[in-house]
């Protein structure tokens, strides 16, 4: 399906890198209307990655890895067969629609879609189906294991424990309290600016819930003692921190995105960290310019 789409799109765009990036941006905006990062990645990356590869465009400073597997030799129907192409497109749209519109578990549309795609494109031969699944299993299993490990790590950081009747706060709460203790009082009046300027590094440590449910109330309390409004504290934490959401190893959707793009999360962070931080500073400056936050 994508082979046909790539051929036609590249004929219209030619070798224009700007054209491809603009097309990626527009597709991302439309895909993100449901507010889900995971859905956006699942729609945009499979659609655009073949185009980037065909045009030899770099992803994440040239961090796209060559696939370490080859599709098995099978007698599949030609992807340029018009009927098969139309079916594949409709099936893909149906899976995406089921992810966004319905409340059924996410894995159900993928399982049903996979079954129908295998039958339509490779016939009813079970051995062929097994070869196709095996060829693509390695990257999928690696992504799943990374997501599971990240979830366990976040649970350890967030969970409070009780020992001999005494409640011990979670690691995230302890870290938040430590930040408030070492903050000099002279910086209190400019707390919102400080939080905004330093919001990107903590994004690599705190997951979204811990950042906003754990750190935000503490920072609001500190700000109130220095006359800084809760609105300005909340604004900078929302605006600046979100610039780094999808470089954080604590965000499952970010791991899904790099898994689909076949990029190591550590390499993704190395390539994107500086740009994300710079973008957050620009957003902070604009927020100060239009007086959302006080300087």
Q: Which tens digit of pLDDT belongs to each residue from 164-186? A: 888 877 776 676 667 667 777 67
What is the b/e burial string over 201-227, where b = at least 16 CB atoms within 10 angstroms of the residue's CB?
A: ebbeebbbebbeebbbeebbebbeeee
Share of the chain above pLDDT 90, in %: 8
Q: Taking all residues of the chain, what is their mean pLDDT, rounded to a whole number?
A: 78
Query: What are the boundaries of each domain within the chain?
Result: 2-136, 158-289
Query: What residues contact 163, with CB distance under 8 A and at least 6 apart?
Result: none
Decide which of 131 and 6 is more confident. 131
Q: Identify the top-confidence range among 26-35, 112-121, 200-209.
A: 112-121
Confidence of residue 8 (pLDDT cuts 50, 70, 90): confident
Which residue from 245, 243, 244, 216 is spatially nearest to 232, judged by alpha carbons?
A: 216
pLDDT in tens, 42-86: 778 877 887 787 777 754 433 344 333 344 444 445 455 778 888
What is residue 277's predicted lDDT score, i.e. its pLDDT?
92
Most confident of 29-38, 58-67, 240-249, 265-274: 265-274
Please, what is the angle between helix 171-182 and helix 216-225, to 10°? 20
The band of 293, judged by pLDDT with boundaries at 50, 70 and 90, is: confident
Quick one: which of 256, 258, 252 has its CA closest to 64?
Answer: 258
pLDDT > 70 in the chain, percent:
79
> Which ranges of the chain would DSSP assign to H, the alpha helix?
2-13, 17-31, 37-54, 82-101, 107-122, 126-158, 171-182, 191-197, 200-203, 208-209, 216-225, 230-241, 252-261, 265-289
Question: Residue 80: its pLDDT value, please?
Answer: 53
Q: Which of 132-146, 219-233, 268-282 has the lowest mean pLDDT?
A: 132-146
**The pair of three-digit structure tokens given for residue 48, joined into one six-digit string:** 């655009």
pLDDT for 211 beyond 50: yes
Cα 235 versus chain centre, distance = 22
Question: Of residues 179 and 118, which shows the higher confidence score?
Answer: 118
Average pLDDT estimate for 196-200 = 86
**pLDDT at residue 116, rounded to an integer:** 94
Query: What is the mean predicted confidence (pLDDT) over 8-36?
Result: 77
CB 96 within 8 A of CB 46: no
* Stated pTM of the model: 0.58
pLDDT band at 203 (very low <50, low <70, confident <90, very high): confident
pLDDT in the model for residue 200: 87
Query: What confidence score (pLDDT) does residue 75 get?
Result: 47
Average pLDDT over residues 86-114: 88
- Per-residue pLDDT for 274 more than 80? yes
């Amino acid at each position: 399906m994508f082979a046909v789409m790539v051929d036609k799109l590249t004929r219209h765009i030619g070798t224009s890198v700007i054209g491809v990036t603009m097309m990626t941006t527009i597709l991302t905006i439309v895909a993100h209307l449901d507010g889900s990062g995971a859905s956006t990645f699942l729609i945009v990356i499979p659609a655009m990655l073949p185009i980037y590869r065909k045009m030899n465009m770099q992803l994440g400073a040239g961090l796209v890895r060559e696939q370490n597997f080859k599709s098995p030799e099978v007698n599949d129907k030609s992807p340029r067969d018009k009927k098969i192409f139309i079916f594949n497109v409709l099936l893909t749209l149906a899976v995406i629609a089921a992810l966004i519109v319905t409340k059924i578990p996410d894995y159900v549309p993928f399982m049903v879609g996979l079954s129908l795609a295998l039958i339509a494109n490779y016939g009813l031969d079970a051995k062929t189906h097994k070869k196709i699944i095996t060829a693509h299993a390695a990257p999928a299993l690696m992504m799943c294991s990374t997501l599971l490990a990240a979830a366990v790590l976040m649970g350890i950081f967030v969970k409070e424990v009780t020992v001999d009747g005494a409640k011990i706060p979670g690691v995230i709460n302890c870290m938040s309290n430590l930040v408030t203790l070492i903050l000099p009082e002279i910086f209190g009046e400019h707390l919102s600016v400080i939080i905004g300027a330093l919001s990107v590094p903590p994004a690599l440590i705190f997951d979204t819930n811990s950042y906003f449910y754990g750190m935000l109330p503490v920072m609001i309390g500190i700000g109130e003692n220095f006359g800084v409004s809760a609105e300005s504290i909340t604004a900078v934490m929302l605006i600046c921190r979100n610039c780094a959401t999808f470089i954080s190893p604590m965000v499952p959707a970010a791991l899904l995105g790099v898994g689909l793009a076949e990029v190591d999360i550590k390499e993704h962070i190395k390539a994107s960290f500086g740009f994300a931080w710079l973008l957050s500073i620009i957003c902070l400056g604009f927020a100060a310019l239009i007086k959302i936050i006080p300087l």
